[in-house]
Amino acid sequence: MGNKAKKQVISGEKRVNIALDEDIHTKAKVISVLKDITLNEYLLQAIERAVEQDKELVKRAKL
């Protein structure tokens, strides 16, 4: 397990493992530090915004 502590997963929460280009990862990390949030929080916010923008696609798919 190494030095990493196990993190508790909240009920209903899904964990994902995605590959990011090194440059994108670095920029996202720098932005998250400047915003004083974790990289995880930054990525979660970005995904939530994208889902909100695309919610009409989901509505149309449920016809």
Domain boundaries, the chain: 39-63
CA distances from 50 to 3, 15, 44 (A): 33, 18, 10
Other beta carbons within 10 angstroms of residue 24's beta carbon come to: 9
- Which parts of 1-63 fold into alpha helices (H)? 22-34, 39-53, 55-61
CA distance 7 to 59: 34
pLDDT in tens, 54-63: 999 988 988 6
The whole-model pTM stands at 0.73
pLDDT in tens, 10-62: 678 899 999 999 999 999 999 999 999 999 999 999 999 999 999 999 889 88
